[in-house]
Amino acid sequence: MSIAIIWQPTSKSDTRLDVPAPSQFMDIMRDCGYPLPCTLDDEDLPVMRAMAVVYGRNDQTPNPFKEIADLIVEHNSIDLYPAT
């Protein structure tokens, strides 16, 4: 079963986050203390950046943690939740 993961700035509409393995992503977020749904802001930025480094870089697979960190920088705060 594939689950889409949704992010949104706390003041704007839904936007999809490119997550190659949504269930595994949700498990990782939960294990790191961020069970979905959650709101992430600048206080969470160091953790998301560290997770992005650990996740690594692959030109063919997006790094959802880097994308989350970039979104926090851009929007200051985002809501992150699984699509229903």
As a whole number of angstroms, the distance between CA 27 and CA 77 comes to: 21
Q: 24, exposed or middle or buried, with CB in 10 Å at 0-12, 13-18, 19+? A: exposed
Instruction: Give the pLDDT of the chain (84 residues) as one tens digit per residue.
Output: 567 777 766 655 567 888 888 899 999 999 999 999 999 999 999 999 999 999 887 777 789 999 999 999 998 999 998 887
pTM of the complete model: 0.80
Question: In whole angstroms, what is the distance from residue 39 CA to residue 57 CA?
Answer: 25
